Amino acid sequence: MAIPVRSIPVLEGEVAERFEKRARWAEKHRGCMAFSQEKIDAFNRLMERSKKNFI
């Protein structure tokens, strides 16, 4: 028995424009996360603790 083919949903109108605008912004600003030294230190402490608990 064959599986019915379903149509692919397509964004139209204002929703499509908003999606495209946000996608372009995300592409332009990708990978620009700034971490404070405090968060970096906390991450490093977490990694050190996890290395000690590794069996």
pLDDT in tens, 13-55: 999 999 999 999 989 888 767 788 998 999 999 998 888 776 5
Confidence (pLDDT) at 4: 77
Q: CA quadruple 20, 25, 28, 30: dihedral positive or negative?
A: negative
Alpha carbon distance 50, 48 (integer Å): 5
Closest CA to 49 of 27, 22, 41, 20: 41
**In the block, residue with structure tokens 């912004």:** 25
How many residues does this entry show for the chain?
55
Confidence (pLDDT) at 19: 95
Confidence (pLDDT) at 21: 96
Structure token digits, residue 11: 């964004």
